[in-house]
Amino acid sequence: MAQILAIESSCDETAASVCIEGVIASNIIASQKIHEQYGGVVPELASRAHLQAIVQVVDTSLKKANVTLEDIDAIAFTQSPGLIGALLVGTEFAKSLALAFNKPLIAVHHMQAHVLANMIQSKDKTNAIPEFPFLCLTVSGGHTQIVLCEDYLQMKVIGQTLDDAAGEAFDKSAKILGLPYPGGPLIDKYAKDGNADKYKFPEPKIDGLNFSFSGLKTAILYFIRDEKIKNDNFVEENIADICASIQSRIVSILLNKLKKAADETGINNICIAGGVSANKGLRSSFEKIGIEEGWKTFIPAFEYCTDNAAMIAITAYYKYKAGIFEDLSVVPSARAVF
């Protein structure tokens, strides 16, 4: 029975998870609040906060799973991509545990892990998981990708953003509206009561399966600037309609490309993943288009959408079964393709 301890520290969550034979036994996350006051993640502060939290987070995840380090069969960590100082904390911590307890080491790609979050089954194994091949729209704070997944560890990026990521589009739009960081969940919250057809923002014309969000950001910036000249309270008075309109445009940009990818590949097992897949507008529109197009749709449970170590653990489980291990010379990488 493979018991794996996984550590995630690529950005601003310090997380640890224990996975026992492919079932998540614990999933502990410490979110770093310190960045809110700066309007974005400050890399140096993130590294320091990871250092402060990691012992407790790992300890709690072991206790919650009712296992000790001696019981663990392999130690996994996020190797890339991410903030290099943040990745270093998790990498060196995992390497130290592997050395001290003489355990194999498994390096995980964070974006592959977001995709494989769709493979996590609940304890009673009642949720459906996708069959291969499937497509996954992975939308996070740093990435927007359409991934063709042929097997657990065989993935190809077939479309991606040329500039901002979808999460950045949410966060930067929120910043223009004067909302605190991270603004994505707040746009989601206000959009619930708004009219998505009230304001029309442009959809960029980008070839193939790639995305672009920088034009949308500029359009929102100028629109808000001009409306505020006419009415200083424009944002406060129309926040729900503005958020609903922004959200609906980001979602339509994402889903139009996903539909194109499904048409071109003929694949109809379709997943979403990453922090933005927590967005209620995206989740409901995705399910709606899935019914219209005859897709089988999959969305990870809410707690496995935003950054977490359970997705690192499940990916490590498949690497463990495939016998893919690292030695202690392994180093993290801020950018790495798969």
Interaction site with Zn ion (CB under 5 A) = 140, 307
For residues 185-244, which are near ligand KG4 according to CB under 6 A?
185, 188
Burial class (CB in 10 A: 0-12, 13-18, 19+), 333: middle
CA distance 16 to 30: 9
Stretch touching ligand KG4 by CB under 6 A, among 118-126, 147-155, 183-191, 317-325: 183-191
Q: Which of 219, 183, 185, 214 is nearest to 200 (CA)?
A: 219
- Element holding 172 (H helix, E strand): helix 166-176
Q: In this complex, which beta carbon is closest to ligand KG4, that of residue 3 or of residue 248?
A: 248
244-261: b or e for each residue (b if 16 or more CB lie within 10 Å)? bbbbbbbbbbbbebbbeb
Q: Per-residue x/- mask for ligand KG4, residues 306 to 325, rule CB under 6 A? A: xx------------------
Pairing of strands 296-298, 23-31: unpaired
Work out whether 275 is an interface residue with ligand KG4 (CB under 6 A).
Answer: yes
For residues 141-160, which are near ligand KG4 according to CB under 6 A?
141-142
Q: Which does 185 bind (CB under 5 to 8 A by kind): Zn ion, ligand KG4, none?
A: ligand KG4
Q: In this complex, which beta carbon is closest to ligand KG4, that of residue 26 or of residue 138?
A: 138
Q: How many residues does the chain have?
A: 338
Work out whether 255 is an interface residue with ligand KG4 (CB under 6 A).
Answer: no
**Residue type at 21?**
E
Stretch touching ligand KG4 by CB under 6 A, among 29-37, 151-159, 271-279, 290-298: 271-279
Least CB distance from residue 234 to ligand KG4, whole Å?
22
Stretch touching ligand KG4 by CB under 6 A, among 45-53, 88-96, 275-283, 288-296: 275-283
Q: Which does 297 bind (CB under 5 to 8 A by kind): ligand KG4, Zn ion, none?
A: none
Alpha-carbon torsion (145, 146, 149, 152), positive or negative: positive
